[in-house]
Amino acid sequence: MLIRKLHLHERPLFVEHLRRLPPNDRQFRFAHAHVTDEAIARYVGRIDHDDLILGCLAEDRLVGGAHVAFTGEVAEVGLSVDPDHRAQGIGAELFRRASHWARNRRAQKLYTLCQTDNRAMLALAAKLGMVVHRESGTAEAFLALDPPDLLTVSDELSVGVHNVINEWTDLMRTCGGVLLAPPRSGR
């Protein structure tokens, strides 16, 4: 599995991932019921180009995603993982990477909102040391963030370098036959 930042042209992968979520999972992800395919497309279409969408790619599809958006010094994270890929640490790794990205941009707090019956998200928040406040069927979780350090910056850079190498490898695989074909004789 590969976890990396999604580019603007890859946002349809995020839409497909969110649309694959069963109704109950959609309710957990968006903290309200009856989230339609159209609502998902509108949501992804409104994501700011400066926001981060992290994706976990496996089996040639996006199986997990995290959206990080900024409001002042707070970075809000929305997280989802396909049901058949849960309990593999994907959610925790997406959250860790989102936290590093937010720290590198000087966010002071990481925030997430979920329903109080979303046990998986609440367990993850507790595991990550987030402070959880429950009220009226929703739970808000906060994590104070330290300033960026060598680990957070190098982690983001290494992911970026890895992506460049993978994209170059894919390009060479795709174009290799054309670029490496023997020259034709012109006689």
From first to last of the 187 residues of the chain, give the pLDDT tens digit: 788 888 888 899 999 999 999 888 888 888 777 888 898 899 998 988 888 898 898 878 889 999 999 888 888 888 889 888 888 889 888 988 888 888 888 888 888 887 777 788 888 888 888 888 888 877 888 888 888 778 777 777 776 665 666 666 655 666 766 666 666 666 5
pLDDT of residue 149: 78
The reply to whether 134 falls in a domain is yes
pLDDT of residue 179: 61
- How many independent structural domains does the chain possess? 1
pLDDT of residue 63: 92
The reply to whether 181 falls in a domain is no
In sequence order, the 6+-apart residues with CB closer than 8 A to the CB of 77 are 66, 67, 68, 95, 98, 102, 110, 111, 112
pLDDT of residue 65: 93
Please give the residue range of the domain that contains residue 115.
Answer: 2-171
The reply to whether 135 falls in a domain is yes
DSSP 37-50: HHHHHHHHHTS-TT
The reply to whether 158 falls in a domain is yes
Closest by CA to 141, choosing from 52, 3, 31, is 31
pLDDT of residue 19: 93
CB 114 within 8 A of CB 81: no
pLDDT of residue 17: 93
Joined tokens for residue 95: 């959250």
The reply to whether 102 falls in a domain is yes
Instruction: Using alpha carbons only, give the angle 88, 93, 99 rounded to the nearest 5 degrees.
Output: 155
From the CA atom positions of the chain, what is the Rg in Å? 19
Could you give the C-alpha distances from 101 to 11, 104, 126, 135, 155, in angstroms and in order? Answer: 19, 5, 20, 29, 9
The reply to whether 184 falls in a domain is no
Specify the CATH number for the domain of residue 38.
3.40.630.30
pLDDT of residue 160: 60
The reply to whether 66 falls in a domain is yes
Closest by CA to 19, choosing from 42, 52, 47, is 42
Global pTM?
A: 0.76
The reply to whether 176 falls in a domain is no
In Å, how far from its chain's centre is CA 122?
A: 18
